[in-house]
Structure 1
Amino acid sequence: MSPAPPTLRSPSRRTRFRAGAMGTALAVTASLAAALPATPVMAEPVAYEDYCAPSGCHDILPPGQNGNATLVEILGHQVFGTRPEHSSSQLDMYDDLVHHYDGLTEEGLDDFFQDASYGVDDAEVDREYQPREDVTIVRDAAHGIPHITGTTRDGTMFGAGYAAGEDRLFLMDVLRRVGRGELTSFAGGAEGNRGLEQDLWSTAPYTEEDKQTQIERVASEGGERGEQALTDVDAYLEGVNAYIDEADSGRYFPGEYVLTGHKDAITNSGEIEPFTTTDVVGIAAMVGGIFGGGGGGEIQAAIVLANFQDRYGAEEGMELWHAWRMENDPEATVSVDGEFPYAQTPDDPIGRAVPDPGSVEPYDIVHDEYGSAAPDAASQASTTETRDAPEADAPTVEELPEDQRAELEKMAEEGDLSAAEGIFDDGVLPEGFLDPRGMSNALLVSGEHTESGNPVAVMGPQTGYFSPQLLMLQELQGPGISARGASFAGVSFYVQMGRGVDYAWSATSAGQDITDTFAVDLCETDGSEPTTGSRSYVDSAGDCVDFEALSVSNDWTPTIADGTEEGGYTLTSLRSEYGLVNSFATVDGEPVAFTELRSTYMREVDSIIGFQKFNDPDLITSAETFTEAAYDIAYAFNWHYVDDQDIAFINSGDNPVRTEGTDPNMPIDAYSDAGWSGWDPVTNGADHHPQSDHPQQINPDYIVNWNNKPAQGYTSGWSTGSVHRNDLLDGRVSGLIEDGHRFTTASLTGTMMEAGVADLRAEQVVPLLLEVIDTAEVDDPELAEEVESLRTWVDSGALRREPQRDAGSYEHADAIRVLDAWWPILVRSQFEPGLGEGLYEELTRAVQTDESPSGSIGGGEPGSVNQGQPHRGSAFQYGWWSYVHKDLRTVLDQEVDGTLGDRVYCGEGDLGDCRTVLLDSLAEAAATPAEEVYPGDEHCSAGDQLCADTVIHQSVGGIDMWPIAWQNRPTYQLVYEFSGGR
C-alpha cells in the first residue's frame, strides 16, 4: 500500500521518511503516509446485514495484501532484510494449518484464516481515507485489506481501481505487458520472459483494434448490463490512473520501475504509462487462457491414434485408442449426479483430418532474432546468489536503527542500486506460467449433514504462488454492488470469487473442450503449387488469401533488474478465419496448416456480465439465480455456491454446438460439414449449448471437485479414469457422511487439509501394487524391508507431512523417496514392453506419467524424477494412475469397468511375470540415492527431500518470501457458513 490521499483516520505510529537531500525523492515506504488535512466528508456506507454464522466467515490469501514496494523498501529488503508492512502477514497463517489441522475447532479457525465479515470494527481500523469525495477506503490494521464504500457506483469503481494501484501496480503492469506480447521490452530479455511472452502471443495475440472491437461488442450485445460494465471499467481505470499520477508526483511508486529502467531514481524522469480499456482485455485474455481454457491437443491425439493403428491395425488400434483416451470412463469420479453429454466421439465421424506420419512441423512464431536472442547466443545464467528470505518477524524500514536508515537514504541519494542487481535475471514470471493450472478445489456439505443445520463450504481457486499474489482481496460496497473476496490484479472492478450479502461462491478450472483444431488447405496466391512452406490458405469463401500476420517487435538492453545482454526479435502469429496457426503438415499428401480456434478467442471480455451479476445483491438471491448468472461466464469453470439453505454446482463455458458427426478429438477438415453450428468467421460467434446442457445440481448431500470430470457423459481429458485426485476428497467426505459425522466449518477444513497432504499414488495405487507383490514371499531381505516400509506409510494414511513443525523431515521419508523414484520407473517398465517404445513415447506426450510434489509438468520424460523442483505446490492432477490401477486389477482378475482394451500390459497379463516387473523396478528405485531423486536447485541441496517439496512464492517484484511446507491446496481459500439470509 502507498501513501494515501486525504485521510479521515490517520495512523499515529506512521511517519514519513524521504531521502533527505533529494527533496521530493522517493518515499521510503509505501505504507508511510503523511496524515493530510481531513477536510472531505466521509461517504455514507451502504448498509447490509451480515449473515455470517457464529463460526464466522473466513478466508486467506498468502503472502499478504501489500504488493507494492518503493525503491527504498526494496533496497532495505535486499540489504537489511526488511519487509513492507502487510506484505507477508497471511503467509504463516496459511502454512500453519498443515501442522495443526488435527482436532481443529471452530474457534481455532481464526489462527489460520482471517475474518471475512463485512466491514472493519472501529478498533481494528488502520487507515481511512477518500481518494475522491464519493468513495471511502478503510484498511484494517491486521492485514491492510481495502474495504471500499461508494456513495455512487462510479465512486465504488474508482475506489477499486485506486486500491488496485496501491496494492498491485507493478504486477498489473507486468500482466498487461504479457497481454500485449511486450514483456521483454518492459521487464528485460531474460529467457523466462521470452518464453512467457512467446507462449501468450502464440495463443492470444491481438491488435489494439481487436481488443477495442471486443469492448464495443460487450456494449452492443450486452444491453444495459453491458453498457454498465464498460462504465464500471472506465471508472475503475480512472482510479488506477489517479493513483499513478499521485504516486508519480509524490515519488512513492513501486521501485521496480526504477530497477527496470522506466523511472530515474534521482531526477524522476520517465513515465508510468496510464492504463486503458484495451489493457483490461489483454489481462482478461491471459487470465482466462490460463485458468478458464480447455480442449485442444487434437494433433497429438491424432498422432497417438496413428501409432496405435500402426502397431495393432486399424480396427484394434482404434479400439485401444478409445480405451486409453478415457473420454468417458465409467469409473471416473464425478461431482454431480446425472448424465450431461458433451463433446463425445460420434459413432460415424465426418471431416477428420489426420496428419500423415512424420509430417507435422510446428510453427515457430519467433523471427529476426539478434543479440542475446539469437539462436547461437550463449545462455545467460542468473548472476545473483539465492539467499534466505527474511521471515515474518522482519522489521519494516521505519523500524530500522537510525544508522541503517541513513545508509538507505544515502544509497537512494547517490543512485546506488547495486543491492538489487539481477532480481529479474531469471525472468519476472516463471517458465511455464501459462501452463494449465489445477489445484483449485471445493468441498460443500448440505445442512442435512452439518452440526448447525446450515450448509458449510471450504473452497478456493489455485492461481499459483507469487509475491505479490496474482489475486488481491477487497470489499466493494455501493449502489448495485456488495461483495468481498478475491479479484485478479488489473481486472478487479468486481469480486470474482468470494461472498455477497448472504452467499459465497468460488471456482475451479473445468477444462472442458472449447478449443478445436482445423486443417486449412495451403495455396499460393499466384496459382502455383503450394507446399508446407506456403503462407496463404483457402478461406471459407474459397479464395486464396494470405494468413494475417500479427506481429510485435521487442528489444531489450541490460538493466539493474535484468542483466541480460542487448537483444531482440519479432513475434509473428499467423491468423486465419479458423484460428491461429499451430503447425504445418500434409494430410493425404496435400499441404495444410493446422489452426486452433477457441470459442472465447476474440470474445475475451464477454464474461464480464456474469461477474457483474455475482456482485449484485438484488440479483443473486438464491442458488437458482446464481447458476443462471454463472452461465454468462464464457470461460470453462466449475462454480460452487453456498448460502444458509443451499449448496449448488454449475459448469460454465461457451461450449460450441458441433455439427452432427464432428469428432472433437481429431483435427477437423475446415471445408467439410464438420465444425461449429452457426459459426461466424468474422466475430467467432457460434451456437453454444444452453444452460441445461451444462453439468449442474442443487442440494445433493455434498459436492466435491478438484478439477475432475464434472459429470458422466461430459467428455474429459486423457487418463480421467478410476483414480483421480478428487478421490482424496470424495472418499473422505462420503466416508464421514456414511459414518454419521455432522460437519462444521472446522471439521470440513481439516478434511480438506488432510487430503491436501496425502500422496494420491500411495493412497490409491500402492495398495494394489502391494497386493500383486504379496502373492508370494519377497526373498530379498532388503527389498522386503522396502515393501514393509511402503506398507507402513500407506497404513498410516500416506501423508507427506512432518510429524511436527520444523521436524526437518517427513515421518516416512524413506518410503516417500522410494515411491518418488519408483513411479516413473514402474510406469515405463509396466507399459513400454507391450506398447513399444514409439507408442509409449507418444502417449507420454499426450499425458504425463507423474506429477509428484517435487516434479514438474512436461519436458523430457513427463513426470520423471529429474525434471527439477519448481516448488509449485500443486500435485497429482496429471498422471498414469488410472492406467496402472486398471491394468493391475486386470492382472489380479478383479472386476474392471472400462479396461484398457483387450490387452494386459504388466507382465503381459501373467501375475507372476507382473510381480517380477514390480519387484525389479522397485529394487531399481530403492537403489536410487536421494541426491538423484531430488537433484537440488538454487533453493535446495541435492537430496533434501523436504526442501524439494516446499512451496516457494515466485517473486514478481523486489520482495521475496520464505518457503512453506508442501500442501496441495488452493491459493485463495474461503471457509463459509451462513446462519440466515434475506
Structure 2
Amino acid sequence: MPRRTPHRTRIRSLRESAGSLALMAVFVFTGGMLAPVPAVAAAEPAAADYCEGQCADILPPGTDGSATLAEILANQLLGTQPAHADDQLGPYGALSSGYPSLTDDTLDQYFNDASFGVPDDQVASVTRPRDDVTITRDKKYGIPHIKGTTRYGTEFGAGYAAGQDRLWLIDLFRHIGRGELSSFAGGAPANQGLEQEFWPQAPYTEEDLQKQVDHIRETAGARGEQAMADAQAYIDGLNAYREQAKDGRYFPGEYVLTGKIDAITNVGEIEPFKITDMIALASVVGGLFGNGGGGEIEAALSLLEAQQKYGVEEGTRIWESFRQRNDPETVLTLHDGSSFPYAGKPDSPRGMALPDPGSVEPEQLVYDREGSAATSATSAQNTEGAQSTQSLKDPVKVSGRLKPLQGIFDDGVLPADLFSGGASRKGMSNALLVSGEHTASGHPVAVFGPQTGYFAPQLLMMQELQGPGISAHGVSFAGVGMYVQLGRGQDYAWSATSAMQDITDTYAVELCEPDGGTSTKQSTHYLYRGTCTPMEKLEKRNAWKPTVADSTAAGSYRMQVFRTNYGIVTHRATVDGKPVAYTSLRSTYRHEADSIIGFQMLNDPSYVRDAKTFQQATQHISYAFNWFYADSRDIAYYNSGANPVRAANIDPSFPVKAEKAYEWRDFDPTYNTAAYTPPDQHPNSVNQDYYISWNNKQAEDYSAANFSLGAVHRGDLLDGRVKKLVEKGGVTRASLTRAMADAAVTDLRGEQVLPELLKVLRSEPVGDPALAKAVQQLESWQAAGAQRKETSAGSHTYAHADAIRIMDAWWPLLVEGEFRPGLGDDLWTALTGQLTVDESPSASHGPTGGHAGSAFQYGWWGNVDKDLRRVLGEPVEGALGRTYCGDGSLDACRDVLLGTLAQAAAKPATEVYPGDDTCDAGDQWCADAIVHRPLGGIKHRAIQWQNRPTYQQVVEFPTHR
C-alpha cells in the first residue's frame, strides 16, 4: 500500500484554523484526492550494524518530497506543511547557534540516528509493494528502510520508495537532462534557461543514451550486467508507484498545476520511466558536481589581455601568478609532502591554439523563437540570426518565488538561478576526518558530507537498502538511487567532495568546405585527421501552452548544437587567420553512468571490507570527486576521475589544435575513450593524521582548472581548527562537529585577510573619527572570531552587525581599488571574469546566487593577502607578478584602503542588503539566510546561514567485522 500521511487529519485542522471555505477550495481543486491510510506492522530485523549507535546524519528540509495538490494549496494559502516535509530543517538550522555547548550526548538534538533498521516502537508504516520487499518508515522522520529477500525486490523497493518521495522531482530532472523542461513544465523564462544550460553539455539522442546502457552491459562484466538489472528493477518499482499513484489519485499536485492531469476527471498521464532516463538524469548530476576543467577559451582571452598590456613574456608571467596553478601557500588535503603531478604547466608547451584577438564568437544555441519565446527574458539574448550570448555560466536571472494559485509557476517551475554559476558552481562539500591515534576512543572520527544546495524537495533522498549483496544507509540523487551514493555500510562510512581536476579540454578544429572551397567561421565541416568531415547537427524543439500554474503564453523555439569527434562546438574564431571551431571534450562524455559500478561496490559488504577495498571501489568512479572513508581502524582518501593522459607538453589550461599529435593518448571518438592515469597517480592516502577537504587543492602538483586555489582558501577554516584538535589530542565526535560548525559561521575574509588589512590601516594613526570607529569595529569583530552569528538563537540579529555590514560593503570596493588601476580596465575585467571578486553569504551576484548557504569558495582573498604582505614587507611564497596596492607604496596603499573604507562605512544597510523576494531591504540576517529553493509547489521558512554540507554524517565505529 502506498505510503502517504492521511490528509483527513490535515484538512480537519485547516477547517478549524481557516474556515470551511478554505477547505472547500482545497477539496475542489484536488478533485477529492485523499490518500489511503498506510498499514502499520512490525519492522524487519535489522542488518549487522557495527556502529553501535554512533552513526548520525541529517538532510534538510525533510524526507517527504511528493505533495498532493491539496497539500500544495494548503501550503500556499495557509502555510501548512505536509508531514515530514520540513521536520529536519529545525535541527539542522539549530546547530549554528547550539554548537558551542555540543557534546556526544547532545548530538541527537541536531542529527538523526543513522543506525540500521527501525525499532518496533518507532515504526510508522510498513509497505509491501511486492512479496519480496518491505519499506519500513520511522515515526520521527519518515525515512524509508528498504529490505528485500531478493536482489530484484530490493531494487524494486528502492524505486518504489523513490516514487513515493520524489516522483515529481525525478520527472523534472529527466526532462532537464533531455533538454525538454519547457515542453514539460511550461515556457517560463527560467525553464528555458535551465534546458539551455544543461542540454548543450550532453545533447544525447535516444540512441546515444541506449548505447551507454549497452556499453556498461558489454564492458563491465558480471557487475555491469548486475548494475543494469538493478537499474531495471529500480525503474520497475518507480513505474509501479507511478501507476498506483495515478490510479489512486494521490500523485504529486504539480502534475495538475502544469496541465498534465485533470484534477476532476483524472484524465492525463505520467509518462513511464525507462533506463535511458537514468542516463539523462546522471548527466545533470555529473555536470553539476562531478566534472572538472573547461574554461580554456576564457583563459586564453585573459592571457591575451595580459600579453597586450605587458608584452608576451611579462604578461604571461603575470597571468600565471593570478592563475595559481601550484601555489605553495595553498591549503592541501594531503599535507604529508606527497606529490601527484597532473595537468600542470609544461616548460615548452606545444599545440596551443590561441584565438586571434577579437575573433571569438560563442556558438548560437537558440533559433526560431515564436510566441512567448520571442518576448521572454531570454529572447533578447537568443534570437534567430543573432549571435547568442546565453552562456552555460550565466543562466537567466528570473525570480523563482512561487505565487498563490494561478500563476504559481509563472517564473518557472524551477528557480532561474537554480544552479547559477555554470562551470564555477561545482564543489560545495566538506570533510573532516581524524585518525584513531588522535581521538579519545582510539577509533577514527569523521564529520563529512556533500553540499548539493538547498532545495524543496532536496535533490538527495535518504534511504536504507538491505538485500542480497547490498547493505547501506545514506543518500542518493533522486532518480538514480538503486544504490546509496554517500553514507555508511555495516562497519564503514564514506563521503565525497567535488574535486574539479581538469578532465575537460578545448580543441580547435580547423574548418573546411567539402568541395574544397574557402572555409568561413560558419562552416559546418572540419578536418579530422586530414579528412574534411561533416559536423553532426543535433536539435531539440520545445513548444508549450499556458497551464493552470504557468500562464506564460504559448510559444516555441529550437536549440541546436554541432557535434564533432572532439566534442561539442562552443565557439568559433580564427587562429593565425584560419577559421576554427572550438569544441569542448570531457572524459565523462558518453560515460554518464559508468560510475554505477563503483557505487555498486561501495554498497556491497562482501567487497568493501577495509580502506584498500574502499579505494579500489572508488577507482571505478569516473567523475572528479574526493572520496573519504572511515571505519573503526582507518581513515582513507582517494581522488577519483577519468583523468585523460594528454600528449607530451600539452598545456590543458588553453585550447589545443585538433590534430592527432595533440590528442589524448589512445583517443577513440567512437565511445570517447582514451588512456587514463593509473590509480597510483591519483592523490590517495591511508591514515594521514587528519584529512580536511572543502574543494581545496588535493595535493602538491595536482592542478585544478580554476583560479581559486591560492594563499587563502575556505579550506583554511577547517585546516586550522582540525590541526589544533589533533595537536591537543582526545578528539571526539562532538569536538570535531564543533570545529566544522565554528568554521561554518565564520567569515573567511574576516579571519584570514582582515589582519593584513588592519596592519596597513594601523601603520599610522587613523585621524578621521568616523574611519577610526569603523576600524575599531572591524578589529573587535576580528578579535571575536569574525563570525556571522546570531546574538542568541532566533534573534535574527548578528553580533558585530555594523562590522559585518562594513566588510560586506568594503570588500568589492577595496579589491577594485587595490588592483584595477594597476591591471587596467581590460585585464581587470578579464581576470574578474575568471574569478569572481566576492562570494560572501549575501552576495547574490556570486557563483552560487543568493541564499545558497555555500560561500567563500571563489574570491580574490588570496590575491589580496599576497599583495598586502608584499606591501608590508612580509615573506610571500608564490607572489603575484607585481605589487598592486598603491603601486607597492605602504602610504599609497593605506590611502586606497582608507578611501574605500570611507565609502563602505557610509553605505546604509538598505544599500548593502537591497532586498529581494525573500527579504526586506536592510535585513542583514535575512540577506544571508538559507532559503530552500522550491522545485515544485512547497516552500519552507528561511534558516540562519551556515556554510555546511547539505547532507552530513557524524560517525565513529567502535568495532569491525
TM tier, smaller:
over 0.9
Residue equivalent to 2:432 = 443
1:620 to 2:608 alignment: yes
Q: Secondary structure at the match of 1:419?
A: coil
1:570 to 2:558 alignment: yes
Supply the AA of the counterpart residue of 1:617. P
Residue equivalent to 1:977 = 956
Residue equivalent to 1:690 = 678
Q: Structure 1 stretch 374-383 or stretch 479-488: which is displaced more?
A: 374-383
Question: 1:336-735 residue pairs with structure 2 within 5 A?
Answer: 336=334, 337=336, 338-374=338-374, 419=405, 421-433=407-419, 435=422, 436-540=425-529, 542-671=530-659, 673-716=661-704, 717-735=706-724
Structure 1's 900 and 121: CA in aligned 2 closer, same or farther, altered over 3 A?
Answer: same
Mapped contact 1:58–1:114 kept (Cα < 8 A): yes
37, 52, 55: which is aligned to 1:33?
Answer: 37
Q: Secondary structure at the match of 2:198?
A: helix
In the TM superposition, residue 932 of structure 1 has moved relative to its aligned partner by: 1.5
In the TM superposition, residue 33 of structure 1 has moved relative to its aligned partner by: 2.3
Mapped contact 2:399–2:917 kept (Cα < 8 A): no
Q: Secondary structure at the match of 2:903?
A: helix
Residue equivalent to 2:860 = 880
Mapped contact 2:186–2:412 kept (Cα < 8 A): no
Over residues 327-376 of structure 1, what are the superposed CA-to-partner deviations in whole Å (9 max), with x where a residue is unaligned?
A: 11111110013100000111111100000111110012111111111168
1:805 to 2:793 alignment: yes
Q: Structure 1 stretch 98-107 or stretch 222-231: which is displaced more?
A: 98-107
Counterpart-to-counterpart distance in 2, 1:583 and 1:546: 17
Counterpart-to-counterpart distance in 2, 1:576 and 1:951: 42
Residue equivalent to 1:871 = 851
Mapped contact 1:26–1:72 kept (Cα < 8 A): no
Structure 1's 871 and 791: CA in aligned 2 closer, same or farther, altered over 3 A?
Answer: same
Supply the AA of the counterpart residue of 1:890. R
Mapped contact 1:308–1:317 kept (Cα < 8 A): yes
In the TM superposition, residue 892 of structure 1 has moved relative to its aligned partner by: 0.9
Mapped contact 2:418–2:933 kept (Cα < 8 A): no
Mapped contact 1:437–1:464 kept (Cα < 8 A): no
Mapped contact 1:26–1:71 kept (Cα < 8 A): no
Structure 1's 117 and 877: CA in aligned 2 closer, same or farther, altered over 3 A?
Answer: same
Counterpart-to-counterpart distance in 1, 2:94 and 2:660: 57
In the TM superposition, residue 381 of structure 1 has moved relative to its aligned partner by: 11
Residue equivalent to 1:866 = none
274, 277, 281: which is aligned to 1:283?
Answer: 281
Structure 1's 361 and 432: CA in aligned 2 closer, same or farther, altered over 3 A?
Answer: farther
1:906 to 2:885 alignment: yes
Mapped contact 2:647–2:662 kept (Cα < 8 A): yes
Q: Secondary structure at the match of 1:102?
A: helix
What is the TM-score when the length of structure 1 is the normalising length? 0.92
Residue equivalent to 2:314 = 316
In the TM superposition, residue 27 of structure 1 has moved relative to its aligned partner by: 5.8
Over residues 650-691 of structure 1, what are the superposed CA-to-partner deviations in whole Å (9 max), with x where a residue is unaligned?
A: 100000000111110110000162231011011100000011
Q: Secondary structure at the match of 2:255?
A: helix
Structure 1's 908 and 247: CA in aligned 2 closer, same or farther, altered over 3 A?
Answer: same
Structure 1's 51 and 524: CA in aligned 2 closer, same or farther, altered over 3 A?
Answer: same
Supply the AA of the counterpart residue of 1:372. S
What is the TM-score when the length of structure 2 is the normalising length? 0.94
Counterpart-to-counterpart distance in 1, 2:956 and 2:43: 30
Question: 1:195-206 residue pairs with structure 2 within 5 A?
Answer: 195-206=193-204
Mapped contact 1:29–1:84 kept (Cα < 8 A): no
Counterpart-to-counterpart distance in 2, 1:376 and 1:130: 47
Q: Secondary structure at the match of 2:865?
A: helix
1:932 to 2:911 alignment: yes
Give 5+ residue unaligned stretches, structure 1. Answer: 388-417, 864-868
Mapped contact 1:14–1:33 kept (Cα < 8 A): no
Structure 1's 140 and 320: CA in aligned 2 closer, same or farther, altered over 3 A?
Answer: same
Counterpart-to-counterpart distance in 2, 1:135 and 1:519: 53
Over residues 127-159 of structure 1, what are the superposed CA-to-partner deviations in whole Å (9 max), with x where a residue is unaligned?
A: 012100000110001110000000000000000
Supply the AA of the counterpart residue of 2:82. P
Counterpart-to-counterpart distance in 2, 1:21 and 1:79: 9
Counterpart-to-counterpart distance in 2, 1:500 and 1:376: 49
Q: Secondary structure at the match of 1:505?
A: strand
Structure 1's 344 and 496: CA in aligned 2 closer, same or farther, altered over 3 A?
Answer: same
Over residues 362-400 of structure 1, what are the superposed CA-to-partner deviations in whole Å (9 max), with x where a residue is unaligned?
A: 01211111111116879999899878xxxxxxxxxxxxx
In the TM superposition, residue 112 of structure 1 has moved relative to its aligned partner by: 0.6
Supply the AA of the counterpart residue of 1:626. F
Mapped contact 1:848–1:857 kept (Cα < 8 A): no
Mapped contact 1:662–1:675 kept (Cα < 8 A): no
Mapped contact 1:19–1:25 kept (Cα < 8 A): no
Q: Secondary structure at the match of 1:664?
A: coil
250, 253, 278: which is aligned to 2:251?
Answer: 253
Counterpart-to-counterpart distance in 1, 2:357 and 2:502: 25
Structure 1's 16 and 835: CA in aligned 2 closer, same or farther, altered over 3 A?
Answer: closer
In the TM superposition, residue 928 of structure 1 has moved relative to its aligned partner by: 1.6
Mapped contact 2:440–2:730 kept (Cα < 8 A): yes
1:240 to 2:238 alignment: yes
In the TM superposition, residue 743 of structure 1 has moved relative to its aligned partner by: 1.2
Q: Structure 1 stretch 470-479 or stretch 66-75: which is displaced more?
A: 66-75
Supply the AA of the counterpart residue of 2:316. M
Mapped contact 1:149–1:478 kept (Cα < 8 A): yes
Structure 1's 958 and 427: CA in aligned 2 closer, same or farther, altered over 3 A?
Answer: closer
Mapped contact 1:351–1:672 kept (Cα < 8 A): no
In the TM superposition, residue 203 of structure 1 has moved relative to its aligned partner by: 1.0
Supply the AA of the counterpart residue of 1:837. D
Mapped contact 1:454–1:645 kept (Cα < 8 A): yes
In the TM superposition, residue 936 of structure 1 has moved relative to its aligned partner by: 0.7
Counterpart-to-counterpart distance in 2, 1:319 and 1:938: 45
Residue equivalent to 1:403 = none
Residue equivalent to 1:212 = 210
Supply the AA of the counterpart residue of 1:611. F
Counterpart-to-counterpart distance in 1, 2:750 and 2:7: 55
In the TM superposition, residue 796 of structure 1 has moved relative to its aligned partner by: 0.2
Supply the AA of the counterpart residue of 1:3. P
Counterpart-to-counterpart distance in 1, 2:544 and 2:773: 57
Q: Secondary structure at the match of 2:553?
A: coil
Q: Secondary structure at the match of 1:459?
A: strand
Mapped contact 1:631–1:652 kept (Cα < 8 A): yes
Residue equivalent to 1:413 = none
Mapped contact 1:16–1:33 kept (Cα < 8 A): no
Give 5+ residue unaligned stretches, structure 2. Answer: 13-22, 381-395
Counterpart-to-counterpart distance in 1, 2:514 and 2:914: 54
Counterpart-to-counterpart distance in 1, 2:663 and 2:553: 47
Residue equivalent to 2:114 = 116
Q: Structure 1 stretch 377-386 or stretch 125-134: which is displaced more?
A: 377-386
Q: Percent of aligned positions with the same letter in both sequences?
A: 55
Q: Secondary structure at the match of 2:405?
A: helix
Structure 1's 560 and 467: CA in aligned 2 closer, same or farther, altered over 3 A?
Answer: same
Supply the AA of the counterpart residue of 1:732. R
Structure 1's 909 and 227: CA in aligned 2 closer, same or farther, altered over 3 A?
Answer: same
Supply the AA of the counterpart residue of 1:351. G
Mapped contact 1:467–1:960 kept (Cα < 8 A): yes
Residue equivalent to 2:50 = 51
Supply the AA of the counterpart residue of 2:786. A
929, 934, 952: which is aligned to 1:950?
Answer: 929
Counterpart-to-counterpart distance in 1, 2:733 and 2:567: 46
Mapped contact 2:361–2:573 kept (Cα < 8 A): yes
Supply the AA of the counterpart residue of 2:820. E
Over residues 569-597 of structure 1, what are the superposed CA-to-partner deviations in whole Å (9 max), with x where a residue is unaligned?
A: 00111111100111100111111000000
